[in-house]
Structure 1
Amino acid sequence: MSRLPQSRSKVQKLEPDDVVALVSPASWSDESWLAESIATIESWGFRARVGRHATDRLGYLAGGDRERAADLNAAIRDPEVRAILCLRGGCGSLRLLADVDTDALRADPKPLIGFSDITALHQVWRRAGVPSVHGAVAGTRMDTVRQLLVGERGEPVRSDRGQFGADLTTTGTAFGPLYGGNLDMLARSVGVVDNDLEGHVLLLETHREVGLGMVDRALTQLLLSGALARVLGVAVGTLEGFEEYQDREWTVLDVLRDRLGSLGVPVLAGLPLGHLENPVSVPLGVECELDADAGALAVAPLTA
């Protein structure tokens, strides 16, 4: 870890009684999940402030685009809010990319917490130069979020050799800022945001929806766009739903080896990140050390 630089983050660590905003920029959550999230935030010594439209419903969305963007921007502009928790992913974050008040975010940096569909918004935070958190306040490892918010350096995230996909791990080490998230969301943002990841360690997680073709198309789109041309390493999280799936004798591991192999960089897989019952949360936009030989991903603190 001697080569791992300190975080370049400008976000402040949270203190007792600080405010965490709870918003729904994508799909809606039921009332029990909202209540549980509030209870968790308050048990950590923070104040939970629920967005005005956080419980709205419009089909699978948590209300209209204007209302969801308004809640997000209200949290960004509120000087009392020191972190923003997305209650769930689902669908809808991509619709808000042009509406986020990035000027206000740069003026008062605060981390966003979420994963899956929230990957679209993580790209706005990256563009603004503000670190964020890939993860969720859920499961037995939810305290990793609290640790990040109060400025603690978490333990390195270790590869689980029993997790499906761990066999993708190669050898070597890589150093650079960690960035990424859900594979499909990263690919769908090509041409929408600047997603050139030169000098970064790429984080990827995915889940099965329409088969191996989705994974192939998404990776190919990122490769052809040049977004992955100069990445330094790849950290692979969960590959949910692909465990028993094959298509003409190929598995998702064959697709990933075929596509990622062209990068010629270290790959560390089997990480407990993404669509898991008990996911680990990690900062995005801060320095990391990926050590495929040791099976560990060490990430600098989220806060300055």
Structure 2
Amino acid sequence: MQTDPLSFQPLPTLAKGDRVAIVSPSMAAPARWPAVFELGLNRLSEHLGLEPVEYPTTRRLGATAAERANDLIAAFADDSIKAVFASLGGDDQITYVKHLPVDPFRRNPKPFFGFSDNTHFANHLWHCRVPSFYGGHIIAQFGMHGEMDKFTLDYLTTALFHRGECALQPSEEFNDIGLTWNDPSLLATRRAYEPNDGWYWDGEGAASGISWGGCLESVDELMRHGQRLPSLEEFASIVLVTETSEDLPPAPVVHRVYRALGERGILAQVRAVVVGRPKAWEFDNQRDADARRAYRAEQRRTTLHTIRQYNPTVPVVQNVDFGHTDPQICLPYGGLIRLDPAQRQLWARF
């Protein structure tokens, strides 16, 4: 089995009653959807026994980048805070995360939960050698219509209270058709779910490595704005993890981002590629079932075809349960991922 030369700090586990920070590193979504946010906070307390502590810009629309950065720094610096949760994503972390210091995060490692635009902060923590978890927004996952997905809650429980390797499993059903957060009367209504296809495998040979990546559109932003990426030497120890957002990027866009990864020499280096289940429906693009299936299939073909142009043999698994659909694995980011394509098995070290 391959060994890992990257050295990350261990994350502490939590205990019931611990205080956890709630922050809005991108948009102050709780100010727009307060009922959903309050539901999410209540479930954090009821299901996990944790005490949420809101930071100053959590509900402040128009908070400056400096103010949001200060919340992140303060949450990590406070020894009484044992984990940090993002309320939701957004689209502007690229403008300020590059200016964050290193020492407050490196000196105070603790679990951070966030995905989508929070890719940028997860990447910053990665370079501080602090692992995080890609998933678990207060509004999107804890505030899920109807009730929290048990699948999601089980992986959140693992990430918070346990350490060690966990065999990951595909969900039996999934949802990517939303209900509006603008109508609080819908919060008790369960969303429409459909049977999950499972995971799609390609390539041979077992592999393992440290996870890095995130939302493909954010990875694209990191590259196009010249932000810090792992070195090619580090990519030789990495399992690349990607997924696409509610922007529903068409196949040519997905191709160009993977092509950029290939032209940089990254795809030739990585040990494996793990791709999240694509979201295929959004309020401004309400596709029917056939169109959603076709979109997901085209993205899978495009992703695999582009990867194979740069790496003919690397193991690839797609449609994995993380990212912008539910239920969701809060996937370790900066944690060990292990794959066995022959056995169709995937593990992550939490």
Counterpart of 1:222 in structure 2 is 261
Please, which runs of 5 or more residues in structure 1 have no aligned partner?
Answer: none
Deviation at 1:153, TM superposition (A): 4.2
Distance 2:12 2:326 in 1: 29
Give 1:198's aligned residue: 236
The match for 1:253 among 300, 304, 309 is 300
Q: Secondary structure at the match of 2:303?
A: helix
Q: What is residue 109 of structure 1 aligned with on the other side?
A: 109
| Partner residue, 1:289 | 338
Paired residues in the alignment total 292
Which of 215, 240, 246 is the matching residue for 1:182? Answer: 215
- TM-score normalised by length of structure 1: 0.86
Q: State the structure with bigger RCO (CA 8 A, min sep 6), 1 or 2.
A: 1
* Structure 2: 5+ residue stretches without partners: 142-147, 173-194, 281-290
Give runs of aligned pairs for residues 59-98 of structure 1, distance below 5 A.
Answer: 63-98=63-98
TM norm structure 2: 0.76
Structure 1 vs Structure 2 CA RMSD: 2.6
SS at match of 2:69: helix
Instruction: Tell me which residue corresponds to 2:326.
Output: 277
Equivalents in 1 of 2:65, 2:80: separation in Å?
24
Q: Distance in 2 between matches of 1:109 and 1:258?
A: 38
Query: Match of 1:123?
Result: 123
Q: SS in structure 2 opposite 1:268?
A: strand
Q: Pick from 169, 179, 204: which aligns with 1:171?
A: 204
**Does structure 2 retain, via aligned residues, the 8 Å contact 1:122–1:132?**
yes
2:183 is matched with which residue?
none
User: Which among 270, 273, 290 is matched to residue 234 of structure 1?
Assistant: 273
> More helix by proportion, 1 or 2?
2
Q: Is 2:276–2:323's contact at 8 Å kept on the other side of the alignment?
A: yes
For residue 189 of structure 1, report the CA deviation from its aligned partner. Answer: 0.7
Cα distance in 2 for partners of 1:244, 1:16 equals 41
* SS in structure 1 of the partner of residue 73 of structure 2: helix
Q: Does 1:135 align with 2:135?
A: yes
Aligned partner of 1:14 in structure 2 is 14
Alignment partners' CA distance in 1, 2:253 and 2:111: 30
1:184-212 Cα shifts (integer Å, max 9, x gaps): 11121122112332211111111453422
Q: Which residue of 1 aligns with 2:34?
A: 31
* Distance of aligned partners of 1:297 and 1:96 in 2 relative to their CA distance in 1, 3 Å threshold: farther
Which residue of the partner structure matches residue 49 of structure 1? 53
